[in-house]
Structure formats: C-alpha cells, structure tokens
Chains A and B, each alone.
Chain A
C-alpha cells in the first residue's frame, strides 16, 4: 500500500502539471493577499486599515488554492485514462481500488504541500505589505486558526477531485464539471439557498475556514468539525461510487 502511495507521489513529481498548478496557486494567493490589504480603508471595503484582524483576513487568502488542488485530484485520475497509463497502473496493482486509495492519500499529501507553501507565502507577503503601509499587524490566535483552516481545506479538497475523476473519466468533462460546479452552482446555492448551500463542498470548505471567527456568514454555515467531516464524506462517497461504477469498466 505504501509502495503504491510512493508511486503516486512519484507520478506527480515526474510531470510538469502539478508544478504549474502550484505556481498558479501561489499567484492566486499573491493577488488575493494584495487585494485584501491594498483595498483596506477604501470606501465600501470590508476592512479598515487599523482593523486588528488585518493579518488574519489577508492570510485567509491562502485558501485560494482550493480549486487548483481539486483540479490536481481530478487530473491524477483522468490523465491515466487519457494517456493510457491506467493499463500499466492496473497491471502493477490488479485491485483497482488499491490504486484509487493510494491516489486519495497521495493527493492529500500533495494538498498539504500546497497548503504549507501557500501559508508561508501568504504570511510573508501579508506581513511585508502591511508593515510597508504602516497598518496594524497583529499575529494572534485568530491568524493561527485561519491557517489551520487553510491546511485542513487543501488537505481535504484533493481527494474530492480524485472522486470526481473516478466518476467522470473524461478529463475535460471532469474539469469543466468541477469548475462550473464551484464557480456557478455553489455560488448561486450559497447566495440564494444558504440552507442547501452549506451542505455543498464549497459550503463545507467555508465552514472549515471560519475557524478564525471571520466568517460574516456565520450562522448559516455548519460548525467547523461538521464541515471537515462533510468534506471527507464527499471524497469517500464520490470515490466509492466511482470505484464501483466507472473504475471497474473494461480497459480496452
């Protein structure tokens, strides 16, 4: 089992795409940190320049990689079918569910790496920018909680992608479906039907991220622990269904 996980990690490290996804993640983090800090104090901005939560709000941007980790999870599976590497993978391990489990673990670990780098990067950029502007820089428990939330979120989002990929083997279809879901369906649900929206993966992720007592939507979201459990459940149910339905198909 651990051999299969190591093989999955090696698969990710020996192609260019995960590296690009990581760079894109860091670019998103940078943009979103700068946007939060530099707009503070402007009319209509949610944040004032002397807000003690400035740092916490800024580093919350480190969760920007959510979607990219989701895509990473999808690709670890769909690429195998796109390039036909599923054949050697399943020849090495004829129990296909073992390959799937190894992918779930490997993608979680990759998510942790994304989270760690995002957090360090967000902290550094935030601290430097806030200090340069002479704004309030408070490093307190809230910041730590936000960062933990980010880590948990990225850890749990990749496996959901693996589940999506197991269910929809076509790469483009799977990625498009995930993006439309994340950026359109979930946004609408969370906005229009918060009672339903909080049960979506995005809603669950927001629940996990509210760790820092930052969420303005608090009350409509699930508690942190429930959000985390819900994310795990999504990953397991999607992969389980994918493993039963799609993954067992003939490989011709």
Chain B
C-alpha cells in the first residue's frame, strides 16, 4: 500500500507572480516529510497542483506515476487537508463527512469512526460554524482519514491547534508513517515539524532550496559561532578577508557562519584577543532562516 509522490519540474505563474518555480522532489512512503517555507513561499500552490486543483504552468505531479485526476478512487488513495475554510458553516460536522463519504461510496459508519479518531465525537452534531479553528483542523483531518488512504497531504495542519493539539498531531502523524503511509505536511513554523519530520523540503520564494533528512539539515547548523573580542572590528576585518563575513550582535560581539575552530585559529594567527568563543546553539531554526532568507528574530 506504499505510494511515492513525485513533483516533476512544477512551475506556476499567476500573471506576473511566480508562485512556484521548477519544483522537483520525491516524497517517500513510511516517512513524514515536512514541506517547509515562510508564508508566500508557494507551499499551498504546490500542494494544490499536486491535487489537481490548480493547473501547473508547466511540469507534472503524480502518485506512483499517476496524476491525481487519474486516480480511480482518490479518496481511498489520498487523504487531504487544505486550509480550514472548506466547510459550510451551517452544516453539522457529521453531515460534512457524510456528504464526502456518500460521494466516495464509503461505508456509512466511516464519519463516526474518523470523528472518534480525531477526538470530535462529542461535537459531531454541532454546526461547523460554531467550531474553533482547532476543531476545524481536526474535522479537516477527519475528512482526510475518511478513505483510510496510504497517502496524506496536509497543508499547515498545526495551524490553530493548541500545544496539546500539536503534540497530539505529532504522535498521530508519526503513527501514520509507521504504518507505512506517505505523509506530506506543510508548515511555515519549523518547530512544529522539528520533532515529527524525517525528511524536509525547504521552499523559499517558490524555489526548492534544500531537500534531505531533517538530520542533514541540522548538520549544517553547527557551523555558527558567536565570538566576543575587545578588538572585534579588527576580527571582522580578518574574517571578511578570509571570506567569512560576520554580523554584529552587539558592540563587541560578532556572529560568524563558520565553526569555532576556524575562528579561533584565525584570531590566534593574527594575535587578536578573544573573550569568548561559542558555537551557536538552536541551529536548525537558524539554518531554516538562512535558507529561506528571513531575518533572524
């Protein structure tokens, strides 16, 4: 029941805006793949192209070689959650799922089952218009699970969830991947997927800037150094000459994208006094910000 997703040179332009440019990537079964990037990076557009809702300007996307539109029974093959807006506010939660279950010829008891899976049994008869954002996300997830599909495509599923909800989602997604399913989860907040994802695709301004395992992404993180020196200006000059531009974090402190060993050796060669030399911690997020070109906060 394992399915591989392939994005193949996908490009989408909306008039002048290029939302996604030449995206090629493979998403494997049995793993959680984080689809990361800041707001506006093109995540939603990519996923909507994958699901046949947006027509690519060029390129294709497929599930085991077949585009979504050609799947014989899409609901049983791919579960989807796209934004928390696809509900009629006046319809009861259970009816929303019942409509989908009838259309997809699923057993009548499926809506109740998936509501239980996401912990919404008590709200089954309530109108979706009265739901909190977190409840809508759970209902969306319930809809994605209706067909018990081998593939899950989830667009920002953690949006609106409280910390317990996010933890619950993490366990839930890990469980789905452990069953051999293909799980693709987008997020603009790295920590949300940091403990969930095995693989990552990092998108920035429509372009794929990094693919690999989360561990590989983290490996690139240990390279940062914060250095304090009474002669920091001279140190920056030396670093720049060595091709390692630093950025000031305070009057006598500089942050450099290089390992501490390298900075220390350079300082010793030129007799620059150092008061402090620290590898930068919390690296993953920094790598993410560097890759996506966002300012550090």
Chain A residues in the interface with B (C-beta under 8 A)? 3-4, 6-7, 10-11, 14-17, 79, 83-95, 248, 250-252
Task: State whether the Cβ of B105 lies closer than 8 Å to any Cβ in chain A.
Answer: yes
The answer to whether A14 touches B99 (Cβ under 8 A) is: yes
- Of all chain B residues, which has the CB nearest A87? B86
The answer to whether A7 touches B86 (Cβ under 8 A) is: no
Contacts of B215 in A (CB 8 A): none
Q: When the two chains form the complex, which single residue of A4, A16, A79, A250 contacts B53, counting CB atoms closer than 8 Å?
A: A250
Given contacts A10-B98, A14-B92, A250-B54, contact A84 B74 (CB under 8 A): no
Chain A: minimal CB distance from B143 (Å):
7
Chain B: minimal CB distance from A58 (Å):
35
The answer to whether B86 touches A88 (Cβ under 8 A) is: yes
Counted as pairs of residues, one from A and one from B, with CB atoms less than 8 Å apart, the total is 82
- Residues of chain B from 58 to 101 with CB closer than 8 A to chain A in the complex: 68-69, 71, 74-75, 80, 82-83, 85-92, 95-96, 98-100
- Of all chain A residues, which has the CB nearest B140? A88
Contacts of A95 in B (CB 8 A): 69
- Of all chain A residues, which has the CB nearest B78? A91
Chain A: minimal CB distance from B42 (Å):
11
Once the chains are docked, how many angstroms separate the CA of A7 from the CA of B92?
A: 15
The answer to whether A87 touches B82 (Cβ under 8 A) is: yes
The answer to whether B75 touches A94 (Cβ under 8 A) is: no
The answer to whether B103 touches A251 (Cβ under 8 A) is: no
Mask: chain B, 253-286; 1 = CB below 8 Å from A; 0 = not:
0000000000000000000000000000000000
Once the chains are docked, how many angstroms separate the CA of A11 from the CA of B102?
A: 10
The answer to whether A92 touches B90 (Cβ under 8 A) is: no
18 sampled A-B residue pairs with Cβ under 8 A:
A3-B103, A7-B100, A15-B88, A15-B90, A83-B85, A83-B86, A84-B85, A85-B86, A85-B87, A87-B82, A91-B53, A94-B68, A250-B54, A252-B44, A252-B45, A252-B48, A252-B53, A252-B54
Task: State whether the Cβ of B23 lies closer than 8 Å to any Cβ in chain A.
Answer: no
Contacts of B89 in A (CB 8 A): 83
Once the chains are docked, how many angstroms separate the CA of A91 from the CA of B48?
A: 10
Q: When the two chains form the complex, which single residue of B55, B88, B105 contacts A83, counting CB atoms closer than 8 Å?
A: B88
Contacts of A7 in B (CB 8 A): 99-100, 102-103
Chain B: minimal CB distance from A93 (Å):
7
- Of all chain A residues, which has the CB nearest B12? A250
Once the chains are docked, how many angstroms separate the CA of A89 from the CA of B88?
A: 12
Task: State whether the Cβ of B208 lies closer than 8 Å to any Cβ in chain A.
Answer: no
The answer to whether A16 touches B83 (Cβ under 8 A) is: no
Contacts of B102 in A (CB 8 A): 3, 6-7, 10
The answer to whether B85 touches A92 (Cβ under 8 A) is: no
Task: State whether the Cβ of B52 lies closer than 8 Å to any Cβ in chain A.
Answer: yes
Q: When the two chains form the complex, which single residue of A10, A87, A90, A251 contacts B95, counting CB atoms closer than 8 Å?
A: A10
* Additional pairs, 12, CB under 8 Å, beyond known A3-B103, A16-B90: A10-B98, A14-B91, A14-B95, A15-B88, A83-B85, A87-B53, A87-B83, A87-B86, A92-B104, A95-B69, A248-B55, A251-B54
Q: When the two chains form the complex, which single residue of A79, A87, A93, A251 contacts B88, counting CB atoms closer than 8 Å?
A: A79
Given contacts A14-B95, A83-B86, A83-B87, contact A92 B53 (CB under 8 A): no
Closest 7 CB pairs of A and B: A7-B103, A14-B95, A84-B85, A94-B69, A251-B53, A84-B86, A250-B54
Given contacts A10-B99, A14-B92, A250-B54, contact A94 B86 (CB under 8 A): no
Given contacts A251-B53, A252-B48, contact A3 B90 (CB under 8 A): no
Once the chains are docked, how many angstroms separate the CA of A6 from the CA of B104?
A: 11
The answer to whether A3 touches B105 (Cβ under 8 A) is: yes
Contacts of B85 in A (CB 8 A): 83-84
Contacts of A83 in B (CB 8 A): 85-89
Contacts of A88 in B (CB 8 A): 86, 100, 143
Q: When the two chains form the complex, which single residue of A10, A17, A87, A92 contacts B75, counting CB atoms closer than 8 Å?
A: A92
The answer to whether B82 touches A4 (Cβ under 8 A) is: no
Contacts of A17 in B (CB 8 A): 90
The answer to whether B104 touches A14 (Cβ under 8 A) is: no
Contacts of A252 in B (CB 8 A): 44-45, 48, 53-54
Q: When the two chains form the complex, which single residue of B48, B87, B103 contacts A92, counting CB atoms closer than 8 Å?
A: B103
Once the chains are docked, how many angstroms separate the CA of A10 from the CA of B92?
A: 12
Contacts of B91 in A (CB 8 A): 14-15
Chain B: minimal CB distance from A237 (Å):
25
Chain B: minimal CB distance from A10 (Å):
5
Chain B: minimal CB distance from A75 (Å):
11
Once the chains are docked, how many angstroms separate the CA of A3 from the CA of B103?
A: 5
- Of all chain B residues, which has the CB nearest A99? B103
Contacts of A11 in B (CB 8 A): 88, 99
Chain A: minimal CB distance from B141 (Å):
13
